[in-house]
């Protein structure tokens, strides 16, 4: 190679008879220098190649570790009702005194609500797995653990395990992703803090249309005894349809209807039917700023053999995200229908069960949140008296590690 180049340069240069020999010599020197540089480069490159030989441990499985996230949630609460009285509140028609489960922000003073460990991983080409371990200060709970298909054809997806139903809008979302720390009243009344979350299977289908349209069907054991509770068989079935349209680039809407039918265990085994309607509209004011309006209406017909209770309620919330760091929101909660036996509350006004909540939150970074909220609660009976409760709370939530992005 080297020789032939030198030779050809010589031939070419000899053609130009008027070129002086000294010039030729200079050119040759230059070419030699160039050649040496190139040789040096090649040598360096081959050295680098040798050092990139894979010397990782022979049985290392590090790259297959699941994504792991740690979620912590805690609060400081001020409330104008003593802890011992608050624990025994009643929500007339839904929750009797002393019956409520209060896993979050129960005490005046400090609350450590939970530490959650979330793990997710692709199992193989066919399945994804997801689990969230919910740790209370003195309790371990598998909040969700399920597998999900990733390769079914024609828009289908199957899920199996213990998981939250996609009924309505809020049911599927974890507490840390709600816009308010407290659960919407109607969800608390009908399902308690666990929502519809049970062992079961889910099938969802997304239509191949220009407009988003999704149908889902789920079968569960039905262990939630606020509304269901007959677990002699898999007695709970949920179905829903959801669709979404963009009215403009900035304004998007998502709406859905849901239906759950199960069996309660009051006076034997009797049917419970729950209907849900949800509507969310989001107007984007910029990359980091948006106004979101989200509302849901839930209605329950609970047959308990001697009568059929007909109850309903709603919540409506308006969230203004000012920028990457600040958001604020208002929520209105109401029980709109309460046709049931209220004789235990004789002499107490049980009408106008409503609640107002306001919040301001600060996100130093997308992974952390400090939220200040005020709540005026007109839904509770305490010590056989209707009692309006005022509460101010400062809560902190962090999601550290490989925490997946949230849905719309």
Partner 1 sequence: MKKIFLSTLFVASSIFASINIDSTYSTMGAVAKKIGGDLVKVTVLGSPKYDPHFIVPKPSLLAKLRKADLLIMNGGGLELGWLPPLLRSANNPKIVNGAKGLLDMSHYVNMIDVPKTVSRAFGDVHAQGNPHFSTDPHVVLTMAKAIKDKLVEIDPTHQQNYETNYQNFTNKWQEFLSKFDAKMQSCGTKKVVQYHELFNYFLTRYKIKSYGTVEPLPGIAPSSKHTLELIKTMKENGIKVILQDVYHEKKTAKFIANHTGARVAIIPHDMGADESETLEDFYNNIEQKICQ
Query: What is the CB neighbour count within 10 angstroms for residue 10?
Result: 13
Smallest distance, partner 1 to C-beta of residue 321, A: 11
Smallest distance, partner 1 to C-beta of residue 263, A: 30
Query: How many angstroms separate the CA atoms of 327 and 330, rounded?
Result: 11
Q: Residue 80 or 246: which CB sits closer to partner 1? A: 246
The DSSP call for residue 14 is H
Smallest distance, partner 1 to C-beta of residue 195, A: 19
Smallest distance, partner 1 to C-beta of residue 49, A: 17
For 37-126, strand residue ranges (E) read 67-79, 109-122
Q: Residue 213 or 356: which CB sits closer to partner 1? A: 213
Q: Tally the residues of the chain.
A: 408
Q: Residue 42 or 251: which CB sits closer to partner 1? A: 251
Q: What is the DSSP string of 214-250?
A: EEEEEEE----TTT-B--SS--EEEEEEEEEEESSSS
Smallest distance, partner 1 to C-beta of residue 97, A: 41
Q: Residue 281 or 360: which CB sits closer to partner 1? A: 281
Smallest distance, partner 1 to C-beta of residue 280, A: 9
Nearest 5°: the CA angle 229, 235, 241 is 110
Q: Residue 133 or 213: which CB sits closer to partner 1? A: 213
Query: How many angstroms separate the CA atoms of 166 and 38, rounded?
Result: 64
Q: Are residues 244 and 254 in contact, defined by beta-carbon separation less than 8 angstroms?
A: yes
- Quote the crossing angle between the two packed helices 2-15 and 21-51, to the nearest 10°: 160
Q: Residue 53 or 405: which CB sits closer to partner 1? A: 405
Smallest distance, partner 1 to C-beta of residue 121, A: 12
Query: What is the CB neighbour count within 10 angstroms for residue 357?
Result: 24
Smallest distance, partner 1 to C-beta of residue 405, A: 5
Q: Which residues of 62-87 are buried (b: 16+ CB within 10 A; e: fewer)?
A: eeeeeeebebbbbbbbebebeeeebe
Which helix or strand (DSSP H or E) is residue 144 part of?
strand 139-149
Q: Residue 69 or 393: which CB sits closer to partner 1? A: 69
Q: Residue 49 or 287: which CB sits closer to partner 1? A: 287
Query: How many angstroms separate the CA atoms of 179 and 177, rounded?
Result: 7
User: Footprint of partner 1 on this chain (CB under 8 A)?
Assistant: 122, 125, 128, 148, 150-153, 155-157, 204-214, 242, 244-246, 249, 252, 254, 282, 284, 286-288, 290, 323-325, 365-367, 400, 404-408
Smallest distance, partner 1 to C-beta of residue 401, A: 9
Q: Residue 148 or 386: which CB sits closer to partner 1? A: 148
For 324-388, strand residue ranges (E) read 326-339, 354-365, 368-378, 381-382, 385-386
Query: How many angstroms separate the CA atoms of 311 and 333, rounded?
Result: 14
């Amino acid at each position: 190679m080297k020789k032939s180049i030198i030779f050809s340069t010589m031939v070419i240069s000899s053609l130009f008879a008027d070129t002086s020999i000294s010039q030729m010599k200079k050119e040759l020197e230059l070419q030699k220098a160039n050649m040496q540089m190139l040789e040096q480069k090649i040598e360096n490159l081959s050295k680098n190649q040798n050092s990139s030989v894979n010397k990782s441990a022979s049985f290392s499985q590090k790259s297959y570790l699941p994504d792991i996230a740690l979620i912590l949630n805690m609060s400081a609460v001020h409330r104008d009702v003593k802890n011992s009285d608050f624990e025994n509140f009643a929500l007339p028609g839904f929750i009797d005194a002393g019956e409520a489960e209060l896993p979050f922000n129960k005490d005046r003073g400090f609350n450590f609500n939970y530490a959650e460990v979330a793990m997710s991983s692709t199992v193989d080409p066919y399945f994804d797995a997801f689990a969230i371990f919910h740790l209370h200060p003195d309790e371990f709970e598998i909040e969700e653990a399920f597998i999900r298909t990733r390769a079914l054809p024609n828009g289908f997806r199957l899920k199996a395990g213990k998981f939250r139903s996609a009924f309505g809008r809020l049911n599927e979302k974890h507490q840390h992703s709600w816009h308010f720390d407290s659960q919407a009243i109607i969800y608390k009344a009908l399902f308690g803090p666990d929502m519809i979350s049970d062992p079961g299977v889910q099938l969802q289908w997304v239509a191949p249309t220009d407009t988003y349209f999704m149908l889902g069907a789920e079968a569960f054991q039905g262990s939630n005894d606020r509304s269901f509770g007959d677990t002699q068989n898999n007695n709970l079935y949920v179905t829903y349809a959801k669709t979404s349209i963009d009215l403009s680039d900035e304004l998007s809407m998502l709406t859905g209807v849901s239906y759950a039918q199960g069996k309660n265990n009051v006076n034997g085994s009797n049917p419970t039917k729950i209907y849900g309607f949800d509507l969310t509209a989001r107007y984007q004011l910029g990359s980091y700023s948006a106004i979101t309006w989200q509302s849901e209406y839930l209605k329950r017909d609970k047959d308990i053999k001697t009568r059929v209770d007909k109850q309903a309620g709603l919540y409506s919330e308006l969230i203004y995200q000012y920028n990457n760091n600040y958001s604020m929101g208002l929520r209105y909660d109401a029980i709109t229908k309460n046709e049931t036996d209220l004789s235990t509350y004789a002499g107490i006004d049980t009408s106008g069960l409503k609640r107002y909540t306001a919040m301001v939150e600060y996100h130093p970074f997308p992974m952390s949140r400090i939220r200040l909220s005020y709540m005026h609660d007109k839904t509770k009976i305490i010590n056989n008296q209707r009692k309006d409760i005022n509460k101010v709370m400062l809560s902190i939530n962090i999601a550290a590690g490989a925490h997946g992005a949230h849905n719309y």
